[in-house]
């Protein structure tokens, strides 16, 4: 099909019937020549919302995977142009919640319905209409906000499959615009951006020039780890894993704690600065992936006490104090909580920097030391994440480290622990701690 024109679901005269609700005067200046507003990306899980956000911004603001419910919190992606500013809200996939975690995810979606000026419903052109789609449309029908229908993966199906989709959806909801797109290839995204600016209210920019997202560096690093984890596990594991950043420490240079410089390499050899898994020694590989040589005396965090190890015995999970209580390093609490102003380039999976980072040799760069914990719900989950001889956790560490180095512009030493916390998806203290990273 020719994906260069917009299919309008309603006549232009009808488009004037409902204008997007504007924010209060306290948050909006007097109308100017620029346009600004919030656009919520909504839809079922795994329809391409995060991929679309990254493509629109040209930066990897949101992690992506083929696993449902990858996005757990609403993230802002801010695009500023000469015409004004669009604040995209990337939401979790709409589903019926079963746990406290899922209910919180859906609360973010509900909030975006309230705050957005325009709603963009994404659907996957390759999937048949089902109960999930009907549920999303039911939610959409409760609001009077203007809505766009974005038919994603339009380039991957025949044209004769797109036209029935358009006919069906325009009868189910009065969409302002219906636009076939490809979030991955960028097809028709210029059309989408133009239509959004045309409908947004005249207003001053909502965020300062150069703003990119509302997420903190600490949360962004945790998400990079979780993305690599999702790429390595199957079945129920994606739903029962979470990542918490315990510590970020910037250093002028040198080896990671407990490691000598001669055991390091500048590339991606066996002596990798990822999770410490040593080939040929199964027990050492497993334990080094779990243990972190920290100083004694750290307070235990009750939210992250293990439910039990493989032998069924209780095992305490020692935690670092909150970021602002640590000593040493220059990654202050305020710094880690500031919204990020840069992100990874929106590059295809598998991109590797090799021995250089932004054109500079790795060995000449300062070091960022990151210690993180992966939480699962059962001892059997822990074994799967570790993998045989610690291979899975090592590969997760290697892949996450590469992305962290590209983002931070430094060498990164990444220590990963895997801990069991039974039923953490229903534990408010755990959810508060993880969400607090953002």
- Distance, in Å, from the CA atom of 39 to the CA atom of 21, rounded to the nearest integer, reads 12
What mean pLDDT is predicted for residues 407-428? 93
Torsion region of 249: left, alpha or beta (phi above 0 gives left; psi -120 to 50 gives alpha) = beta
Q: Identify whether the C-beta of residue 62 lies closer than 8 Å to the C-beta of residue 71.
A: yes
Bridge-based pairing state of the strands 147-152 and 177-180: parallel
Q: Going by C-beta distance under 8 Å and a sequence separation of 6 or more, which residues neighbour residue 325? A: none
Residue 251 reports pLDDT greater than 70: yes
- Distance, in Å, from the CA atom of 51 to the CA atom of 53, rounded to the nearest integer, reads 5
- Distance, in Å, from the CA atom of 192 to the CA atom of 189, rounded to the nearest integer, reads 5
Two tokens, residue 81: 């142009």
Share of the chain above pLDDT 90, in %: 58
- Distance, in Å, from the CA atom of 218 to the CA atom of 412, rounded to the nearest integer, reads 14
DSSP 425: G
Two tokens, residue 320: 């670092």
Residue 257 reports pLDDT greater than 70: no
Q: What are phi and psi of 437, to 5 degrees?
A: -65, -25
Residue 139 reports pLDDT greater than 90: yes
Residue 211 reports pLDDT greater than 70: yes
Q: Identify whether the C-beta of residue 152 lies closer than 8 Å to the C-beta of residue 182.
A: yes
Confidence (pLDDT) at 360: 72
- Distance, in Å, from the CA atom of 314 to the CA atom of 223, rounded to the nearest integer, reads 28
The pLDDT confidence band at residue 172, using thresholds 50, 70 and 90, is very high
Residue 41 reports pLDDT greater than 60: yes
Residue 431 reports pLDDT greater than 60: yes
Cβ density class 233-250: b for 16+ within 10 Å, e for less: beeebbbbbbbbbbbbbb
| Of 76, 85, 28, nearest in space to 212 by CA | 76
- Distance, in Å, from the CA atom of 327 to the CA atom of 332, rounded to the nearest integer, reads 9
**Beta-bridge mates of residue 418:** 374
CA torsion through residues 33, 34, 37, 39, sign: positive
Residue 141 reports pLDDT greater than 80: yes
- Distance, in Å, from the CA atom of 2 to the CA atom of 254, rounded to the nearest integer, reads 55
Residue 284 reports pLDDT greater than 60: no
Residue 39 reports pLDDT greater than 70: yes
Residue ranges and CATH numbers for the domains of the chain are 12-199 (3.40.50.300), 217-435 (3.30.300.20)
Two tokens, residue 243: 């990542």
End-to-end CA distance of the chain: 41
Confidence (pLDDT) at 290: 35
Beta-carbon neighbour count of residue 43 at 10 Å?
A: 24
pTM, two decimal places: 0.75
């Amino acid at each position: 099909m020719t994906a260069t024109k917009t299919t309008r679901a309603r006549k232009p005269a009808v488009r004037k019937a409902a204008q997007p609700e504007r924010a209060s005067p306290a948050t909006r200046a007097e109308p100017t020549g620029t346009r600004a507003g919030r656009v919520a990306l909504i839809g079922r899980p795994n329809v391409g919302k995060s991929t679309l956000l990254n493509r629109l911004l040209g930066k990897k603001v949101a992690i992506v995977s083929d696993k449902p419910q990858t996005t757990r919190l609403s993230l802002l992606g801010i695009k500023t142009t000469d015409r004004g500013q669009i604040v995209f809200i990337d939401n979790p996939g709409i589903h019926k919640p079963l746990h406290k975690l899922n209910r919180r995810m859906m609360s973010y979606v509900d909030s975006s319905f309230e705050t957005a000026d325009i709603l963009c419903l994404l659907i996957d052109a390759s999937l048949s209409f089902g109960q999930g789609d009907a549920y999303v449309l039911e939610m959409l029908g409760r609001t009077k906000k203007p809505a766009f229908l974005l038919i994603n993966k339009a380039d991957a199906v025949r044209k004769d499959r797109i036209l029935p989709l358009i006919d069906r959806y325009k009868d189910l909801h009065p969409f302002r615009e219906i636009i076939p797109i490809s979030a991955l290839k960028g097809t028709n995204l210029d059309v989408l951006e133009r239509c959004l600016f045309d409908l947004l209210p005249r207003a001053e920019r909502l965020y300062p020039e150069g703003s990119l997202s509302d997420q903190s560096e600490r949360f962004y690093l945790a998400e990079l780890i979780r993305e690599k984890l999702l790429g390595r596990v199957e079945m129920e594991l994606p739903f029962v894993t979470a990542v918490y950043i315990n510590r970020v420490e910037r250093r002028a240079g040198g080896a990671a704690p407990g490691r000598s410089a001669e055991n390091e390499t500048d590339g991606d050899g066996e002596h990798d600065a990822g999770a410490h898994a040593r080939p040929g020694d199964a027990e050492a590989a497993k334990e080094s992936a779990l243990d972190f040589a920290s100083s004694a005396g750290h307070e235990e965090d009750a939210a992250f006490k293990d439910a039990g190890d493989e032998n069924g015995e209780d095992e305490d999970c020692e935690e670092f104090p909150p970021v602002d209580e640590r000593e040493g390093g220059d990654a202050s609490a305020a710094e880690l909580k500031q919204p990020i102003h840069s992100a990874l380039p929106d590059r295809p999976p598998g991109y590797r920097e090799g021995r250089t980072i932004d054109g500079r040799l790795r060995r000449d760069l300062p070091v960022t030391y990151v210690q993180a914990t992966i939480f699962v719900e059962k001892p059997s989950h822990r074994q799967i994440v570790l993998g045989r001889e610690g291979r899975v956790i090592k590969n997760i560490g290697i892949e996450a480290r590469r992305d962290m180095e590209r983002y931070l512009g430094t060498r990164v030493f990444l220590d990963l622990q895997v801990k069991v916390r039974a039923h953490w998806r229903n534990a408010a203290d755990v959810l508060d701690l993880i969400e607090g990273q953002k």
